[in-house]
Structure 1
Amino acid sequence: MDEEIEIHTGSAAANPDTPLRQAFRGERPDTIPVWFLGQSYLHTPENWADLSLSEQNAFALNPNHVIPDALAPVEQWDVDAAVCFSDVLLPLHLMGIDLRTGLGEDGEKIMPLRSPSRVDQLVNRPFPDWTAVEQIVREARAALAPEKTLIAFGAAPFVVASLLVEGIVDPGQHLQTRVFMQSQPRCWDELIRWASNLLKGFLAAQVRGGAEALQMVDPWVRVLTEGEYACMAEPYARGIFEDFGDITKISCNLGADQLLGIIAPYVDVLGIGDNITLEDAARLAPGKVLQGNLDTDYLYADRDTLRGVVDEVLRAGRAAPSHVFNCSGGLPRDVESDDIRWVVDYVHNAH
């Protein structure tokens, strides 16, 4: 995708200068902003698994479903940001790839992808029309209060490429990916470049629709060495971020603390997992805005215990120029809504 990415700077400039927008710029606001990974998800019908891929895609691109689910966390918990498309694998679904079977809509076998012929078969498929994605984001931005930030959300290229090679959604140590990368580097380059262009299109549609920050999640790179990441993954993630110019860029690489120093130079905000403290992350990436890193297990604890853990995250977050409170992974669906709202109110009122 070679066209210039349009950013709606005009509408963003008209928004109030909120704590989250200040924190994203590296300033320390009076109120600590907060939002959660996994705070939004599509409420699907009970027969979701029985629907065809095209029926699932039609549901996932219906604004009557997507927008209420995206805005619900803002309305229920008063978090500072909203996310429209929390399913990072949606671009693959829109490519007609059924992750349940590994087949394309035409019945061709696509996953697992471990040969040059399979790569050629994939990269010659046309990219989706992103018009519906852009329109949903535009409508969500119009419905969202101006003091709230809308974040474009997607996977990093390594996630998509590795998923296709492994052929399963949760591949553990990504052994097949590492073998493919090392044994077929030219095929890997072709595949991950294709994934980069696919994801760039998905993120660009969200930015054109009015998202004022973009976040890419790349937790699977935690299995890579610094050398593997620098050669086989980093150039493609960096290339996406660099194509977006003047917009807040967030890289969420939970568990990949060995890579923070490599990632930090080309992003504005680093998402941090609970395998490392925010103080240690600040030492590894000095001067960088940090986002994180509440261990979601504590959301099931009593209030006194939870208060102590939240206080520690807030204290450690002061090691960075600014800090956006978030969790260290996806927000569990069975956490009590009142407990989430309590955390948001507590963080907003902390000093």
Structure 2
Amino acid sequence: MDPNVPQHPTGTSTSAEQNTAPGGEGGVVPTLVAAARGEATPHTPVWFMRQAGRSLPEYRALREGNAMLEACRRPELCTEITLQPVRRHDVDAAIFFSDIVVPVQAVGVDLDIVPGVGPVVAEPFRTRADLDRLPELTPDMVTDITESVAGVRAALRSDQALIGFAGAPFTLASYLVEGGPSKNHENTKALMHGDPELWNDLCERLAAIAGAFLQVQVDAGADAVQLFDSWVGYLNRADYQRFVAPHSARVLASVEGRVPRIHFGVGTGELLDLMGDAGAEVVGVDYRVDLADALERTGGRHALQGNLDPALLFAPDEPLMARVDEIVEAGRKAPGHIFNLGHGVLPTTDPDVLTRVTARVHETSGR
């Protein structure tokens, strides 16, 4: 048995030649999908969170004069932005270019993405009457998303995956309750503990919206999905289990059995097992936790994604590539491994470094 080839947790597929499926183009399963399933792959698949964005000069040129939400909702722009890093870096997956607040805006919430700030909500959610501002998301509200996803999927190779995504209910609720980004989430936690019934009702509505948004993307051709819970690392385990896990589980269940599901948050080292148990095949690990520790904390029940520190992309090549090799080696011990950063690409990152890291992962893991 080749130790360089990830093994399926049940001891089945041991050859990359088995990385096929009857329904795909030419029967080929994208490398990322195979890794997420714990199947053998020709190399460790790699993509980078925020790979489409400000680090690319072609992105900055295309965004000139186009607001963020406009770029997300115009299929020709969205498709091109999603594909830019795939062409440049030869990564194994495209992450659909969007924002976690897009489906919330689509149902009618008055918000904007302010440069240098983030999502800002005109009228924060604080009372039961505010729930009426969150109707169900239906496919006719996001026909542009369907068009964009289909366009990206058609442009990718059959071995490359398209990842759809949504924001998790806790993080979406935090933006709505705080009115924008928050360092302490004081209004969010006050509502959570002060009126648990209202909190749960709010998160139920957000879970339905996020789940519907994932379904639209999968229906249009997404090969995998990622649920982002950007702010959930601010919670302890007990609060996560009581106030968050059931709602995240509902979102993930919306596409259960259809595509692999990745669950990622920042600062979530103490929550990794719970995030996996919420219904994910893959647990995303940020750069604060070694993959070996993440594997132990998740009990070997899930494939892992991560987890290079994005700041190391500014280091000289020798220590950077040494760390890349360490992560690839650690990932071999997981049921499956998808190489990624432990958070998003920083705006001032040299994109050529990402291209070299991609090549290094492919070379090192494919030996």
1:180 aligns with 2:191: yes
**In structure 2, what is the Cα distance between the partners aligned to 1:71 and 1:25?**
24
Alignment partner, residue 322 of structure 1: 336
Alignment partner, residue 201 of structure 2: 190
1:305 aligns with 2:319: yes
Letter in 1 for 2:333: A
1:348 aligns with 2:359: no
Match runs of 1:185-334 below 5 Å: 185-246=196-257, 247-265=259-277, 266-287=279-300, 288-334=302-348
The answer to whether the 8 Å contact 1:270/1:290 transfers is: yes
SS of equivalent residue, structure 1 residue 340: helix
SS of equivalent residue, structure 1 residue 152: strand
1:23 aligns with 2:35: yes
Q: Offset of 1:95 from its aligned partner?
A: 3.1
**In structure 2, what is the Cα distance between the partners aligned to 1:20 and 1:286?**
21
**In structure 2, what is the Cα distance between the partners aligned to 1:340 and 1:58?**
27
Residue ranges of structure 1 left out of the alignment (5+ in a row): 1-8, 50-55, 103-108
- Which residue, 152, 157, 160 being the options, matches 1:145? 157
Alignment partner, residue 85 of structure 2: 73
- Structure 1 residues 20 and 46 mapped into 2: Cα distance closer, same or farther (>3 Å)? closer
Letter in 1 for 2:271: L
Q: Offset of 1:12 from its aligned partner?
A: 3.6
- Structure 1 residues 61 and 258 mapped into 2: Cα distance closer, same or farther (>3 Å)? same
**In structure 1, what is the Cα distance between the partners aligned to 2:66 and 2:83?**
22
Letter in 2 for 1:165: V
Alignment partner, residue 45 of structure 2: 33
**In structure 2, what is the Cα distance between the partners aligned to 1:209 and 1:305?**
41
Letter in 1 for 2:51: Q
- Structure 1 residues 58 and 11 mapped into 2: Cα distance closer, same or farther (>3 Å)? farther
The answer to whether the 8 Å contact 1:76/1:341 transfers is: yes
Describe the superposition over 1:230-285 as per-residue Cα deviations: whole angstroms up to 9, x where unpaired: 11111011012122121201101231121112222321000000111000000001
Letter in 1 for 2:189: R
- Structure 1 residues 11 and 137 mapped into 2: Cα distance closer, same or farther (>3 Å)? farther
The answer to whether the 8 Å contact 1:271/1:292 transfers is: yes
Alignment partner, residue 17 of structure 2: none
Residue ranges of structure 2 left out of the alignment (5+ in a row): 1-20, 54-58, 115-120
- Structure 1 residues 143 and 46 mapped into 2: Cα distance closer, same or farther (>3 Å)? closer
Describe the superposition over 1:128-171 as per-residue Cα deviations: whole angstroms up to 9, x where unpaired: 71222112111211111111111111111111111101111x21
The answer to whether the 8 Å contact 1:286/1:320 transfers is: no
Describe the superposition over 1:154-196 as per-residue Cα deviations: whole angstroms up to 9, x where unpaired: 111111111101111x211212111101111111111111111
Describe the superposition over 1:25-62 as per-residue Cα deviations: whole angstroms up to 9, x where unpaired: 1134341110011112475644446xxxxxx6554322
**In structure 2, what is the Cα distance between the partners aligned to 1:308 and 1:193?**
44
SS of equivalent residue, structure 2 residue 82: helix
The answer to whether the 8 Å contact 1:24/1:248 transfers is: yes
Describe the superposition over 1:284-313 as per-residue Cα deviations: whole angstroms up to 9, x where unpaired: 012210000000001011111211211221
**In structure 1, what is the Cα distance between the partners aligned to 2:113 and 2:342?**
31
Match runs of 1:38-117 below 5 Å: 38-41=50-53, 45-48=63-66, 57-100=69-112, 111-117=123-129
Percent of aligned positions that are identical: 32
- Structure 1 residues 18 and 188 mapped into 2: Cα distance closer, same or farther (>3 Å)? closer
- Structure 1 residues 57 and 316 mapped into 2: Cα distance closer, same or farther (>3 Å)? closer
**In structure 1, what is the Cα distance between the partners aligned to 2:335 and 2:71?**
41
Q: TM-score, normalised by structure 1?
A: 0.87
Letter in 1 for 2:45: P
Q: Offset of 1:81 from its aligned partner?
A: 0.4
The answer to whether the 8 Å contact 2:178/2:185 transfers is: yes
SS of equivalent residue, structure 2 residue 97: coil
The answer to whether the 8 Å contact 1:111/1:166 transfers is: no
Describe the superposition over 1:41-95 as per-residue Cα deviations: whole angstroms up to 9, x where unpaired: 475644446xxxxxx6554322210111111111110000012234222122323
Letter in 2 for 1:285: T
- Structure 1 residues 12 and 182 mapped into 2: Cα distance closer, same or farther (>3 Å)? farther
